[in-house]
């Protein structure tokens, strides 16, 4: 069974082609600069790495056609024709409070996703463009939506509500939704496995630290709080996003610098975070490489880890009992320094990291326990695998299974 996974952004389309029966990635690729000058499509497979720059890609439909051409190309492709694909999974960023699990796309479901576009104006319209285009090119197979927000729909009202006028919530749906759901889902199941327990018996704090960062509190297997909010801007300090700040600051800056709200929004999302503190770097490797010579890099590292530690403390208070703290995603898997600094000083709470071991552990080492024997709370590094959640959800929905994550039989759980 071959499954195509699509992740459509406003000017890019990422895709992966999986052979589910063989549990094998056949190819992955990206179409960049859709609708702009000099679009480019690149694809990697066991066979080869290839690029096609001599293409005209004006919208998502032409992007998908270019992808189809490359996937089925006689020399560079990996399948003979698109009829071998059984289903398409679409990543959808915002499911609002309408979707608690993955679903088959119908006209009604697409209309609902469209109606949520005001909550994620940069993401949902692009996701829908991708869905429309893929459905018109591959009309005879099932298309399934996988939501970034679905896993967090178990968060209780006291944690998802903001203390703002009730009409903001009731009419405008202003509330916490949370993101990185497939990653937190995967990590929660793998942690349970490493702890030798059922997911329903595990209390966890998961730190997904990539360019975007989210920390989630898991109680009895369910997300009960998460650091990202109505949008992915809230919470930890990120590569280019500010994370938490006094809500009066954007209004103050808007007035003082005579900026539009769109300009402020763009600055907080794209020009803040570590990039703003260092003035040049959002990549943690650059920051770590310049710690000795650049004071702003030292400060950026301290600020990032201080904020992460505050979230750990907060979620320990939320959970009462914590079985494990888990680091994942690009930074969480690879930066021993950020892991160490985020939990340093928490020894009295039973959190003790094995410093010597931790510093030499990277993603390539696979799932690793980083805590000492004396640590009452385990610390793990677990490489995330959002794709497997994606693919298994697609197959689950295709087979009419209930993909509610507490009931669904994921292969990795």
Nearer to ligand ADP, 181 or 210 (CB): 210
- C-alpha span between 342 and 213 (Å, rounded): 13
Residue 72 three-state SS? coil
Spatial CB neighbours of 21, under 8 Å, sequence gap ≥ 6: 1
Q: Name residue 5's beta-bridge partners.
A: 16, 89
**At closest approach, how far in Å is the CB of 259 from ligand ADP?**
26
30 binds ligand ADP (CB under 6 A): no
Please indicate whether residue 148 is annotated as part of the active site: yes
Among 76, 102, 334, 403, binds ligand ADP (CB under 6 A): 334
User: Is there a contact between 42 and 30 (Cβ–Cβ < 8 Å)?
Assistant: yes
Q: Total number of residues binding ligand ADP (CB under 6 A)?
A: 13
Does 403 contact ligand ADP by CB under 6 A?
Answer: no
Q: 3-class DSSP state for residue 77?
A: coil
Give the residue, chosen from 89, 130, 239, 273, that forms a contact with ligand ADP under the rule CB under 6 A.
239
CB nearer to ligand ADP: pick between 167 and 293: 293
330 part of the interface to ligand ADP, by CB under 6 A: yes
CA dist 392 and 20 (Å) reads 8
Q: Does 190 bind ligand ADP (CB under 6 A)?
A: no
Cα end-to-end distance, the chain, whole Å: 21
Least distance (Å) from ligand ADP to the CB of residue 69? Answer: 27
CB atoms within 10 A of CB 195: 16
When the beta carbons of 247 and 360 are compared against ligand ADP, the nearer one is: 360
Q: Would you say how long the chain is, in residues?
A: 413
Counting contacts by CB under 6 A, is residue 329 touching ligand ADP? Answer: yes
By CB under 6 A, is residue 365 in contact with ligand ADP?
no
| Residue span 204-233 as binding mask against ligand ADP, x where in contact by CB under 6 A, dash where not | ------xxx---------------------
- CA gap 80, 253 in Å, rounded: 56
Q: Which position's Cβ is nearest ligand ADP?
A: 330
- Tell the smallest beta-carbon distance from residue 115 to ligand ADP (Å): 27
Cβ neighbours for 134, distance < 8 A, ≥ 6 positions apart: 4, 6, 64, 88, 90, 143
How far apart are alpha carbons 12 and 14 in whole angstroms?
Answer: 7
Are the CB atoms for 182 and 93 separated by under 8 Å?
Answer: no
Q: Is the CB of 383 or the CB of 396 nearer to ligand ADP?
A: 383
Residues 223, 226, 228, 231, CA torsion sign: positive
Q: Is 290 in the site for ligand ADP (CB under 6 A)?
A: no
Could you give phi then psi for residue 257, rounded to 5 degrees? -100, 5
β-sheet with 85-92: strand ranges across: 49-52, 40-45, 24-32, 13-19, 2-8, 85-92, 142-147, 103-104
Smallest separation, CB 331 to ligand ADP (Å): 4
- Catalytic residue, chosen from 148, 323, 354, 393, is 148
Shortest distance in whole angstroms from residue 391 CB to ligand ADP: 18
Cβ proximity to ligand ADP, 209 vs 319, nearer residue: 209
Give yes or no for a contact between 93 and 123, defined as CB atoms under 8 angstroms apart.
Answer: yes
Binding part of the chain for ligand ADP, among 215-223, 224-232, 283-291, 303-311 by CB under 6 A, reads: 283-291
Based on CB atoms, which residue is closest to ligand ADP, 79 or 326?
Answer: 326
C-alpha dist (Å) from residue 365 to 118, 123, 169: 41, 34, 44
Least Cα distance to 410 among 395, 21, 212 occurs for 395
Applying CB under 6 A, does 89 fall inside the site for ligand ADP? Answer: no
Give Cβ neighbours of residue 335 (< 8 Å, ≥ 6 apart). Answer: 209, 284, 288
Closest distance of CB 142 from ligand ADP, Å = 27
Instruction: Assess 90 for contact with ligand ADP (CB under 6 A).
Output: no
Q: Is there binding between residue 183 and ligand ADP (CB under 6 A)?
A: no
CB of 173 to ligand ADP, least distance (A): 25
Q: Does 331 help bind ligand ADP (rule: CB under 6 A)?
A: yes
Helix, strand or coil for residue 206? strand
Q: Shortest gap between Cβ of 108 and ligand ADP (angstroms)?
A: 31
Identify the residue among 47, 49, 285, 295 touching ligand ADP (CB under 6 A): 285
**By the criterion CB under 6 A, which residues form the site for ligand ADP?**
210-212, 239, 283-285, 288, 329-331, 334-335
Q: Please list the active-site residues.
A: 148
């Amino acid at each position: 069974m071959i499954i195509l996974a699509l992740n459509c952004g406003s000017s890019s389309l990422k895709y992966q082609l999986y052979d589910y029966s063989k549990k094998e990635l056949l190819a992955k690729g990206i179409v960049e600069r859709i609708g702009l000058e000099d679009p480019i499509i690149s694809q990697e497979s066991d066979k080869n790495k290839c690029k096609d720059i001599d293409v005209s890609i004006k919208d998502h439909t032409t992007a998908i056609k270019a992808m189809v051409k490359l996937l089925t190309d006689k020399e560079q492709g990996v399948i003979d024709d698109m009829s071998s694909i059984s289903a398409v999974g679409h990543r959808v960023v915002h499911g609002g409070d309408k979707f608690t699990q993955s679903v088959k796309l119908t006209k009604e479901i697409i209309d609902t996703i469209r109606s949520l576009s005001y909550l994620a104006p940069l993401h949902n319209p692009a996701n829908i463009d991708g869905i429309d285009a893929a459905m018109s090119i591959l009309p005879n197979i099932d298309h399934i939506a996988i939501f970034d927000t679905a896993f967090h729909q178990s968060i209780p009202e006291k944690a998802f509500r903001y203390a703002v006028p009730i009409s903001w919530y009731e009419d405008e749906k202003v509330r916490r939704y949370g993101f990185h759901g497939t990653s937190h889902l995967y990590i929660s199941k793998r942690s349970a496995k490493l702890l030798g327990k059922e997911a329903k018996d595990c209390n966890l704090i998961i730190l997904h630290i990539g360019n975007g960062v989210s920390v989630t509190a898991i109680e009895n297997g369910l997300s009960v709080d998460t650091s990202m909010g109505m949008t992915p801007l809230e919470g930890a300090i990120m590569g280019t996003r500010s994370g938490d700040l006094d809500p009066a600051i954007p209004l103050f800056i808007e007035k003082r610098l005579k900026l539009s709200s769109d300009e402020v929004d763009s600055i907080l999302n794209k020009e803040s975070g570590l990039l703003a503190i260092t003035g040049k770097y959002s990549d943690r490797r650059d920051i770590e490489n310049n710690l000795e010579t650049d004071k702003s890099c030292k400060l950026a590292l301290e600020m990032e880890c201080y904020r992460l530690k505050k979230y750990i403390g907060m979620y320990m208070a939320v959970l009462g009992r914590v079985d494990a703290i888990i680091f994942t995603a690009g930074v969480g898997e690879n930066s021993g320094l950020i892991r160490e600094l985020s939990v340093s000083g928490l020894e009295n709470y039973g959190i003790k990291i094995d410093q010597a071991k931790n510093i030499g552990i990277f993603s390539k080492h696979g799932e690793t326990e980083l805590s000492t024997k004396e640590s009452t709370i385990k610390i793990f590094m677990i490489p995330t695998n959002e794709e497997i959640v994606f693919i298994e959800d697609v197959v689950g929905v295709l087979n009419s299974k209930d993909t509610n994550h507490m009931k669904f039989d994921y292969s990795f759980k």
